[in-house]
Amino acid sequence: MHIVIIGNGVAGVTAARYIRKQSDYDITIISAETEYFFSRTALMYVFMGHMRFKDIKPYEDGFWAKNRINLMMAFVNKIDTDKQIVSLSSNRIIQYDKLILATGSVYNKFGWPGENLEGVQGLYSYQDLQLLEQNVKNTRQALIVGGGLIGIEMAEMLASRGVQVSFLVREQSYWNNVLPPEESKMVGRHIKAHHFDLRLGAELKEILSDDQGHVRAAISTAGEEFPCQLLGLTAGVKPNITLAESSGTIECERGILVNEFLETNIKDVYAIGDCIQHRIAPEGRKVFEQVWYTGKIMGKTLASTICGKPSPYHPGIWFNSAKFLDLEYQVYGFVPNILENPFQSLYWEHEDGMKSIRIVYDVSKENQVIGFNLMGIRYRHEICVRWIRENKKLDEVVQHLALANFDPEFFSRYEKEIQALA
């Protein structure tokens, strides 16, 4: 049995590792990006000099041979699901028994005039990082377009090289399609405190070129001109389905469509990670969830299915985390950006405006707690998820809140203040 995995990101690699744990199948991972698996979310640290590229590889190089996982650095041109082959750009043909597509995502371009000029780029792949190293060299001013997590990372990266960064965000408040208003404002304040020129409610109209086909400025829909030698496109990512579509047989919509067993419409072809779109959203989840750990869970789930234990994808209770410059963020459970009946929340914010705790509960179910949103404070995953799963009520949660705290020792604790609010 030969398992071929296309993509050596976290989803593909996790699938390979768990297939190896449970079977003796031949496993081949094909990637055109890098020789070895690396942590995509850590690329920013390489650019800022916190680490070398070799430090963001989760496994030592000898790991793969030791676990008999073949790594192949090659570009796959086409998939033929009838003949069960993939063809490489080197014209080599590889036969598979089962094929796993883990092709990740690509950053969005929305057809802006000038979006293909030199100096205009997103940040997703290792190649994007190398390009950014080139582009930053002659950059004094940069414009970032799009206010997601990658946008703020890119702003931080460029600032570390002494670049002046302006930041166009379509929303009226930073990331307010995810964060509730108070947290969203907190991030906005923090961005401004770091001297970024944050423009809320601003959109890109067009990108202007100099004589050499390089970006020289950009104009917002409000007509303001931003001189820049580098323009970062960070208006989200979308599933990378180019290869799947090339087969002519694998069904795609915005992503590669999969059922709860992560199977595509073609037998023995599976898809996991950022590139997929769930036909039916998993319980309490969304159709697209492009985060690190969902790729991991999908890889592990699929490995079981392939090794003879068919397992549906159950990601469990939502959680996530991020860091906006110096501001840490964690979320456990359901925290809507706009609280509507029957959901309410208990919100506490530190007087320094850099820490907050929000506990979301359901009034229609006797104040059952459904989510936690933390800024500048760390909470314990295990406890939060257990409380949510066991339908704990607000009173009980608030009373025992100290159990959830995960901040380092000697940090100030705020349970009393929150108990006073409840």
- Other CB atoms closer than 10 Å to residue 198's CB: what's the count? 23
**CB nearer another protein, residue 178 or residue 202:** 178
Report if residue 214 touches another protein, rule: CB under 8 A: no
**CB nearer another protein, residue 320 or residue 344:** 320
Minimum distance from residue 359 beta carbon to another protein (Å) = 17
β-partners of residue 87 are 78, 93
Report if residue 378 touches another protein, rule: CB under 8 A: yes
- Residues 20-79 close enough to bind another protein by CB under 8 A: 39, 41-42, 45, 48-52, 55-58, 60
Q: Given the rule CB under 8 A, which of 89-97, 188-196, 207-215, 339-347 is the region that contacts another protein?
A: 188-196
Contact 19, 26 (CB under 8 A): no
Q: Given the rule CB under 8 A, which of 100-108, 186-194, 201-209, 217-225 is the region that contacts another protein?
A: 186-194
Report if residue 403 touches another protein, rule: CB under 8 A: no
Report if residue 402 touches another protein, rule: CB under 8 A: no
- Residues 253-312 close enough to bind another protein by CB under 8 A: 292-293, 296-297, 300
Question: Which burial class, exposed, middle or buried, applies to 390 when counting CB atoms under 10 A from its CB (0-12, 13-18, 19+)?
Answer: exposed
Q: Given the rule CB under 8 A, which of 28-36, 253-261, 340-348, 403-411 is the region that contacts another protein?
A: 403-411
**CB nearer another protein, residue 94 or residue 178:** 178
**CB nearer another protein, residue 244 or residue 384:** 384
β-partners of residue 357 are 348, 374
Minimum distance from residue 164 beta carbon to another protein (Å) = 9
Total site size for another protein, rule CB under 8 A: 56
- Residues 1-30 close enough to bind another protein by CB under 8 A: 10, 14
Contact 44, 151 (CB under 8 A): no
**CB nearer another protein, residue 19 or residue 244:** 19
Q: Given the rule CB under 8 A, which of 87-95, 173-181, 238-246, 379-387 is the region that contacts another protein?
A: 379-387
Report the distance separating Cα 140 and Cα 395, nearest Å. 53
Question: Which of residues 210, 326, 396, 417 is near another protein by CB under 8 A?
Answer: 326
**CB nearer another protein, residue 79 or residue 355:** 355
Question: Which of residues 385, 393, 418, 419 is near another protein by CB under 8 A?
Answer: 385
Minimum distance from residue 36 beta carbon to another protein (Å) = 13
Minimum distance from residue 309 beta carbon to another protein (Å) = 14
Q: Which residues contact another protein by CB under 8 A?
A: 10, 14, 39, 41-42, 45, 48-52, 55-58, 60, 137-138, 159-162, 190, 193-194, 292-293, 296-297, 300, 314, 316-317, 319, 321-323, 325-326, 328, 330, 378-382, 385-386, 389, 406-412
